[in-house]
Amino acid sequence: MTKTKEKSLYSVWFVVPSLVIFLVFFLWPVISSLYYSMTVWNFETATFNGLENYKLFFTDPAMSTSVPHTLLYAFATSGLKVVLAFFIAIFLTSSIKSKDFIRSAVFFPNLVSTMAVGLTFAYMMHPTKGLLNVVIKGVTGSGVDFLGNPSTALWSIIATDVWKGLSISVVIYIAGIQSIDQSYYEAASIDGANWWQQITNVTLPLVAPAQNSIIILSLIGGLRTFDLIWAMTGGGPGFATDVLASVIYKQYAAGFYGLSTAGNVVMLVLISVIAFPLQHFLNKREEAIR
Amino acid sequence: METKRKRNQIIGDIVGLFFTVVIFLIPFYFMFVQSIKSKKEANRLSIAWPTELHFENYIEVVKHGNYQLVTAFKNSGLLTLFTVLGLLLTGAMAGYVIQRRKGKLMTAIQSTIMLGLMIPASILPTIRMLQSMGIYKTMFSMVMIEIALQTPFTIMLYRGFMASIPVDLEEAASIDGCSRWQIFSKIIFPLLKPIQATIIILVGVQTFNDFTNPLYFLPGAANTTVQLTLYNYKGQLANTYNLLFADIIIITVPMLILFLIFNKRIVAGMVAGAVKG
């Protein structure tokens, strides 16, 4: 189609509502955060103080430890989802009779709010009465204080996140697997490939576009996580489960708006330096396979 | 060979069902069973079936705090409705033109909007901006923020789906004398139904279940949303788990209904959006 025809058929004005809402209510605050993160402010007046907020952020362990926690949380949840969801999706695209039921059941947690899931699991992990501890005590004789012990708290929240977030990854994988042409499998089985070889040599490479979406979506979701942490531990015990988003909220609640905004910018930078190169790499990998 | 395959399939079914029930259904059973227990029994947090059924817990939690839950349902309902409607229209218009038109301007617009898939929102500068516009703590600003945050994903889904609609349709309509708006509203928009079902469920669930954004941008008792009531009740009803879980069940049911209506569409929509897009 020619350029003029394109212009006569499709008006640029159609993009304007989306673009204006996006620029005003999302992008402008992001850009202005770079300035406000270098000030002491109370919404009315802002006094410039250079990099003081950042210095404080990285020297106070109550805030600085949130960075490794955030990274661990994001990479662990994303990695677990990418691997577990793949096998569940393989299972659910096979000739199993109960797959419709299982697919709905796996999708179920996605309908429940993070707040509700967080509370439910926190009660199931209750150190003495919780369901999980009743089972564990029955087997080993002593319970585990999942959320009260600093060394298990973050991993307990990670496990809950995987439980809740697995379904979206499974759905994306299923969509990817279903769009693979059956003839690839026929050709592979004529060549004598067994079930496992078909999965590793046909399904896995051809599902790469779906897999890349999952890696990126779950990693970014993990880096931004807030409500599950807030529902289950509130960042505790101590700061053992504080992540960037919970520090941002705590500093806001304490009235340190500049510091909170600096935390917001740290998150922005962290996501940018991880997600953009990663996406570039994954796209390259996808092209190489084709 | 045939019998072996059949046997494997049955084993697969049994193993799959077992793990599904243990891992995915027991937590839901746990929520439900607490919600119909007496206060004393619910505080034991066991999964035993209650000795007496207490469905009046549901009425009690609705009445709690001067019918706060009713206010919350009204607010969350309006927020979800306007966000979904707003995104269905603005996202469709933008996704349509972005997919059809090439050129530097469109590439620039698209890359800018797709930034929103990656970078996080800046919360306090947003509050500051809303205050200076005089719309902080209003339903209008909350809807705009939800739309802004979910615009990139919505456009991505629409754009992916648009690729499967032939251009000939628009050219024929143009020859027949349709205006650009008529081509979109009469011909293209009705064809987008399958992907709209996906968007309704994903955006609807996301907005209704959103906790973080209303926490920051819509504070105050009159503005409360369903997720915030749950968070508040966690403190207020610390020793009445039966009411807390009744609240969880009540605020989950609307999403369950939405899911039952649009269930079949979810995978189809993902094929268009996340995989091809």
Q: Which residue of B has its CA nearest to A225?
A: B212
CA-nearest of A87, A95, A92, A90 to A103 is A92
pLDDT tens for each residue of A261-279: 999 999 999 999 999 899 8
- The per-residue pLDDT for B1 is 55
Structure tokens given for B269? 């929509």
A113 interface with B at CB cutoff 8 Å: yes
- Interchain CB distance below 8 Å, B125 and A110: no
Q: Quote the CA–CA distance of B59 and B66 in Å, as a whole number.
A: 12
Q: What is the pLDDT of residue A64?
A: 92
Digit-by-digit pLDDT tens for chain B (277 residues) are: 567 777 888 888 888 888 888 888 888 888 898 888 888 888 888 888 888 888 888 888 888 878 889 999 999 999 999 999 999 999 999 999 999 888 899 999 999 999 998 899 999 999 999 999 999 999 999 999 999 999 999 999 899 888 888 888 888 888 888 888 999 998 899 999 888 888 898 899 999 999 999 999 999 888 899 999 988 888 777 778 888 899 999 999 988 888 888 777 766 666 655 554 4
ipTM for this prediction: 0.88
Q: Name the residue of chain B whose CA is nearest to A118's CA.
A: B231
Output the pLDDT for position A153.
93
pLDDT for position B277: 42
Residue A104: list chain B partners with CB under 8 A. Answer: 263
Domains of chain A: 45-289 (1.10.3720.10)
Q: Which residues of A touch B156 (CB under 8 A)?
A: none
Instruction: Kindly list the residues from chain B whose CB atom is less than 8 angstroms away from the CB atom of residue A14.
Output: 93-94, 96-97, 184
Closest residue to B122, CB basis, from A1, A43, A261? A261
- Nearest CB among B17, B120, B270 relative to A98 is that of B17
Q: Which chain A residue is nearest to residue B262, measuring alpha carbons?
A: A104
Q: Least CB-CB distance to A264: which of B122, B131, B268?
A: B122
Q: Is A87 on the interface with B (CB under 8 A)?
A: no
Write down the pLDDT at residue B212.
94
User: Do residue B148 and residue A94 have CB atoms under 8 angstroms apart?
Assistant: no
CATH code for residues B55-276: 1.10.3720.10
List the 23-62 stretch of A: residues with Cβ below 8 A of B: 23-30, 32-33, 36, 43
Look at residue A283 in the predicted model and tell me its pLDDT. Answer: 86
> Which residue of chain A has the CA closest to B213?
A227
Q: How far apart are CA A214 and CA A82, in angstroms?
A: 7
B248 vs A: CB within 8 A: yes
Which of B115, B131, B112, B111 shows the shortest CA–CA distance to B123? B131
Interface test with A, best of B28, B109, B122, B270 (most A CBs within 10 A): B122
pLDDT (0 to 100) of residue B237:
74
Residue numbers in A near B126 (CB within 8 A): 25, 29
Q: What residues contact A107, with CB distance under 8 A and at least 6 apart?
A: A167, A170, A171, B259, B266
Residue with tokens 């659910």: A92
Given pLDDT bands bounded at 50, 70 and 90, which one contains residue A99?
confident
Taking an 8 Å cut-off on Cβ atoms, the answer to whether A28 and B266 are in contact is no
- pLDDT greater than 80 at residue A23: yes
Share of chain A above pLDDT 70, in %: 97
With b for 16 or more beta-carbon neighbours within 10 A and e for fewer, the B77-105 pattern comes to eebbebbbebbbebbbbbbbbbbbbeeee
pLDDT higher than 80, residue A4: no
Q: Structural domain boundaries of chain B?
A: 55-276
Q: Taking CB atoms and an 8 Å limit, are B30 and A131 in contact across chains?
A: yes
- For residue A157, what pLDDT is reported? 96
Q: Which of A22, A110, A111 sits opposite B151 (nearest CB)?
A: A22
What tokens appear for A287 in the block? 């092209």
